Amino acid sequence: MEALVLYEEISQLLTLEGVVQKKGRRPVQSDLGCVENACMVVNADDNLIVWTGKGTDLPETYKNLAHRFSGKGQVWIPELVECHTHLIYGGTRHHDFALRCEGQTYQQIAAAGGGILTTMNATREAPPELLLEQAAKDLARFQKFGIGTLEIKTGYGLTLESELRALEVIRALSDQAAMILVPTFLPAHATPPEYKGRTDSYVDLICAEWLPEVAKTGLAKFFDVFVEDGYFSPQQAHKLFLCALDHGLKLKLHSDQFTSLGGTKLGIELGAFSIDHLDHISKEDIRAFGESNTVAVLLPGASLFTGTPYPPARALIDAGARVALSTDYNPGTCPSRNLPLMTTIACTQMKMTVPEAIAAVTYNAAAALDLEDRVGSLIAGKEFRVCTLDTDSYEALPYCFGELE
């Protein structure tokens, strides 16, 4: 009992109990588990939640705990989960943005040597201490938006040495940060210039040498591929994915951002934990999401910034898909760390409801990282990771354009 802590007088608490029971599908207001004048009992030794509920229902055994704190005037929701970022990089891409404003497309800029390859050159030249310093500053900014769990992809080095360096930076960040960081190996982000016109050979190299080496280090949890016209085909992704699975990595996938090539079908068939972007997803693949456990991660900030159509959130949710939201933080297509703002865009432009948006940045985002048993909800047995809001209702999160403190 000495390790137990009582948090009481919490004005409003979201447990997301119903969202958990439904595994994130078609969340409605009653699924949020909204408790007024709530209490929470936490075991400080393991940081796990022991009990949540109304203050009037607090069991007698917890009423005289010595360690107690007040949450009066606050709304408590699960810490937000950011499930898709490209946080390790060098340089900037503001010139790409200026070119898009003049009418050039993402693909045209990339074909001229810009885009990901611009960042690749800067990242290869950046010393690891600079990458670490910049990434630590970015993490601090993410934390200000209530984010406690964050995925980080490699993919801007595109040599084995630089990709391993990025993974080592993520490991160093994990050692010094209070956040849960999830590392993703993304060598198939673009074909490096030394393999221009020989993408198949680059894929063979990743399978033969890079994946075994990364698996041996234990530095990555997920493996990702960018399936898109001019990048990697579904056939190349299939070969990469089978190799990644053989080496114990779990799968993620960029798909259907600019064109629909069949990547989504492949990702669902191979049990990818998430498939991300989906701006141009087919009706057939929407139906397939509803019948799978794969999470559809939507990135409205990238759509806003590049001027492309928003992904069909309404159709995906109505089909029964588990839908998450992310910033897609990266230097080229969404240089924003403001995850709450993504809920605003999702509600206003993608016709998501407030409960759907809340579930999308908590439980469903955790499921996209295979962490829903640890974070993303505030129920007994889960980690005590809380985002506190100085407001009178959780509805303020998407309402305030990410400016809520």
Other CB atoms within 10 A of residue 125 CB? 11
Please report the beta strands in 243-327, taking only residues with DSSP state E, as ranges in sequence order: 250-255, 274-277, 295-298, 322-325
Alpha carbons 236 and 225: distance in angstroms, whole number? 9
Q: What are phi and psi of 103, to 5 degrees?
A: 110, -5
For the chain, the C-alpha Rg in angstroms (whole number) is 21
Looking up tokens 């530095």 gives 219
Taking the model in full, what pTM does it have?
0.96
Task: Using alpha carbons, select from 82, 109, 85 the residue that is nearest to residue 331.
Answer: 85
Alpha carbons 175 and 172: distance in angstroms, whole number? 5
For residue 338, the model assigns a pLDDT of 97
Alpha carbons 305 and 338: distance in angstroms, whole number? 13
Token reading at 274: 């998430």
Output helix, strand, coil percentages for the chain, rounded to the nearest 5: 40, 20, 35
For residue 404, the model assigns a pLDDT of 79
Q: Is 184 helix (H, G, I), strand (E, B) or coil?
A: strand
Residues 9-28: b if buried by 16+ CB within 10 A, e if exposed: ebbbbbbbbbbbebebbbbe
Task: Using alpha carbons, select from 389, 374, 381 the residue that is nearest to residue 180.
Answer: 374
For residue 179, the model assigns a pLDDT of 96
Other CB atoms within 10 A of residue 207 CB? 17
- Per the DSSP assignment, residues forming a β-bridge with 229 are none
Query: Which domains, ranges and CATH numbers included, belong to the chain?
Result: 4-78+377-399 (2.30.40.10), 80-368 (3.20.20.140)
For residue 186, the model assigns a pLDDT of 98
Q: Is 361 helix (H, G, I), strand (E, B) or coil?
A: coil
Average pLDDT along the chain, 405 residues, taken 10 residues at a time: 94 98 98 98 97 97 95 97 97 90 87 86 94 96 97 97 97 94 97 95 98 98 96 98 98 96 97 98 97 98 93 98 98 95 98 98 98 98 96 96 83
Alpha carbons 52 and 50: distance in angstroms, whole number? 7
Token reading at 332: 């080229």
Other CB atoms within 10 A of residue 46 CB? 10
- Per the DSSP assignment, residues forming a β-bridge with 44 are none
Residues 161-196: b if buried by 16+ CB within 10 A, e if exposed: ebbbbbbbbbebbeeebebbbbbbbbbbbbbbeeee
Please report, for residues 156, 201, 247, 338, the alpha-carbon distance to residue 218 in angstroms, rounded to integers and kept in the order given: 20, 25, 10, 30
For residue 109, the model assigns a pLDDT of 87
For residue 111, the model assigns a pLDDT of 83
Task: Using alpha carbons, select from 287, 343, 292 the residue that is nearest to residue 82.
Answer: 343
